Structure 1
Amino acid sequence: MKHVVRSPKHPVDERPFIVIWEATRACPLACLHCRAEAQLTRDPAELNGEDARSLMRQIASFGKPSPLFVITGGDPFQRPDLCELIRYGTSLGLRIAVSPSGTPTLTYENLVAVREAGAVALSLSLDGSTAERHDAFRGVPGVYDWTLDGWRMARELGLKVQINTTVTRHSLHDLADIAAVVRREGAMIWSGFLLVPTGRGEQLDALTPEEVEDVLHFLYDCGAVMATKTTEGHHFRRVAIQRTILARHGELPQTGPLYASLTARATELGLFSGPARSVRRPPMDVGSGRGFVFVSHTGEVHPSGFLPLSAGNVKNHPLPAIYQGSALFNSLRDPSLLEGKCGRCEFATVCGGSRSRAYGVTGRTLAADPWCAYEPGTFEFSPAGV
């Protein structure tokens, strides 16, 4: 199964694959889905420079190679010490990526500064294929152009660029066009973020499980011509396994009308034309509290930025102790505790569903993922030995 789904090199109960730090909640945008419910000004309670350096030393203490460290927000460029912190983290051996907002701070000078400080990658959001669609979602005119300009400058500077697209009813029928923009502009990877109802995202209409299934199959198809992944779409790993097995048997997946319309539009745009990738990028088997940890702007440690339960604070307890010893984190790493159809599913150990979405909808971290359409035991082939 290693060539279909990747696992971190180190056991996920010992250390995370990735640590995301919300450096600030300050951001001039008003995005419809914002987890952080970002504000225009910085919170005086956010981690200061010494707190942030202590956090980075804690991350480095997990050992080498270090977990990937992502500095997000809000807009991390709202912190005047951003480059100083990147330099310090790099000196500790951390691999650092920055996830800024598409604002006027996304300048050539700032991108040069973070690259020279040691950042290796940039993560940007694209939620519409046109300025009108993207800016409507982000709440501020001009964001689309700022994002594309920053994206192009980052690539020119040699930074790896990940593009994130929030999959909502707003973007659902625009996904093929967004994919075409991503392929045209070039990116290290395109990530489809399946909305979690937290923060402002609670006000957005939910997708149906069938629509989500069609989106996952479309993202899998896109993976033949550009690297794709999902955020909070853990059943993408199940889809990858199923599609691999079906292809061996010369069979096609059962899909719905959304998949048909996205595929037709992608074909019209020529998205699947030209040479395919020589090697498909397998999805990584990580999830909330299981290879993944989020540190809030005040130092609270969460299994995910979309699962607002704290297991402790890095000001009071070392991150490794929280990650390894927290009852919350350990429960999320035990698939035998999963409830409902997630608990009965033959793909539970490689998927497990979105714990963030389960909590957001039901209030229970171990409940079944409400956006999964798969009924356990209905796949005609055994996933064993893939």
Structure 2
Amino acid sequence: MELTGRCNLSCSYCYRRNDPSFDMFDTSLLLDQLSEINPYFINISGGEPLLFDDLFNLAKELKKNCKKLLLTTNGLMIRNFPKQNYKIFNNIQMSLDGDKTLHERIRGRDTYEQIIEAAKYLNGITHVSFLCTISSENCSHIGEFARKTQESGVLPKIGRMCGFGHSSFSPISDPYSWMLILEKTAQHGIINDDPLNFWFDEKKKSSTNPNKIVGGCTAGIAGVAISPELDVYPCVKLRIPAGNLKEQSLKDIWLNSPLFASLRDWHNLKGHCPSCEYVSICRGCRADAWARTGDYLAPDPLCWLNGRGEE
């Protein structure tokens, strides 16, 4: 849930630009609609959510409607607020994109140490994780990233850079390079929700089931994204609107969106995907397929089982 598009940084690869925050009407509307469905978890993000004036009061209200509440932040404003405010969150995720030089090339001067200090500030208050968005520029820093997270006592996570944005950084383009990156993250014990990561999880790899409802990419299947304008998307990176909360209820969009229906049936996928024995636990990254081809049902461009995603 993107509370605001406003941010105190202008990172090289970000897909967001400055947008208005929720106003009080929007916030009330959102709370009413969330109470109808009681999601398992809510992830508050932005922009930079700590720029939202009433964040902590809103967090208390949101926590009444979910079991787990997460906060995704760049971390620079963490120490501006009392530690106790953060107890409401089950996890706080901050971005760390490599060593000091590379991180500050992406996020700006003096940001690296502020992230490290923010993690120390939250020690003993709640769980903290560092997220590294993998690009061709920082893929060789995975070992260093794992070491730094271990030193800081936080959970390491990685995410895929999709093929869009205003970045001078390049997403990984070769499927076999991506396979080696995922293998390395598995060796370092880094948390990785990439759909293709099943290849390095024997338990998951052996759990294929053609009748499986949820598995792999969760876009529009096990989660949605809500923008500051109350547009509802399958995920934060797959920005095709399924509806708007000012016009439809979240429950109605969730149950009746044709976009979501198309994502939930893996038979709609193109290329090799429908015939792949692992489709029920993978489905491929729909956002990256859309970003690179314009078709959200196209093969995952980084799938090594599907070559380069060509039919």
CA apart distance, 1:315: 1.8
Aligned to 2:256, which of 309, 325, 328? 325
What's the TM-score once normalised by structure 1's chain length?
A: 0.72
Change (3 A) 1:108 1:26: closer
Q: Supply the distance in 2 between the matched residues of 1:305 and 1:109 (Cα, whole angstroms).
A: 27
Q: CA deviation at 1:47?
A: 2.1
Q: Which runs of 5+ in 2 are unaligned?
A: 207-214
Higher relative contact order (CA 8 A, sep 6+): 1
* Matching of residue 145 in structure 1 with residue 80 in structure 2: no
- CA contact under 8 A between 1:23 and 1:76: conserved in structure 2? yes
Is residue 227 of structure 2 the alignment partner of residue 296 of structure 1?
yes
Aligned pair count reads 300
| CA deviation profile, 1:138-159 (whole Å, cap 9, x unmatched) | 1x111111111111211232x1
Kept in 2: contact 1:151–1:161 (CA 8 A): yes
- How far did 1:93 drift? 4.7
CA separation of 1:358/1:292 partners in 2, compared to 1, >3 Å: closer, same or farther?
same
SS of corresponding position for 2:179 = helix
Match of 1:135 among 82, 100, 104: 104
Match of 1:29 in 2: 9
Aligned to 2:289: 358
- Alpha-carbon distance between aligned partners in 1 of 2:224 and 2:149, rounded to the nearest angstrom: 27
Which of 122, 125, 129 aligns to 2:95? It is 125
| 1:220-241 deviation per Cα after TM superposition (whole angstroms, max 9, x unaligned) | 2222xxx5123xx211023323
Structure 1 distance, partners of 2:49, 2:147, is: 28
CA contact (8 A) 2:30 2:245 kept: yes
The change in CA–CA distance for 1:293 and 1:93 in structure 2 (over 3 A counts) is closer
SS of alignment partner, residue 73 of structure 2 = coil
Runs of 4+ in structure 1 over 3 Å off: 91-94, 241-245
In structure 2, the residue matched to 1:255 is: none
Distance 1:33 1:110 in 2: 31
Look up the match of 1:238: 199
Give 2:185's aligned residue: 219
1:171 aligned onto 2:151: no
Q: Measure how far apart 1:110 and its partner are.
A: 4.6
| 1:194 counterpart = 2:166 | no
Greater Cα radius of gyration, structure 1 or 2: 1
1:69: which partner in 2? 42
CA distance in 1, matches of 2:203, 2:293: 28
Q: Tell me by how many angstroms 1:201 deviates.
A: 4.3
Cα distance in 2, alignment partners of residues 238 and 205 from structure 1: 21
Q: State the distance in 1 between where 2:258 and 2:205 align.
A: 36
Alignment deviations for residues 238-296 of structure 1 (CA, whole Å, 9 cap, x no partner): 33238977xxxxxxxxxxxxxxxxxxxxxxxxxxxxxxxxxxxxxx7452111021001
Distance 1:111 1:361 in 2: 41
TM-score, with structure 2 as normaliser: 0.89
> Once superposed, what is the RMSD of the aligned Cα atoms?
2.3
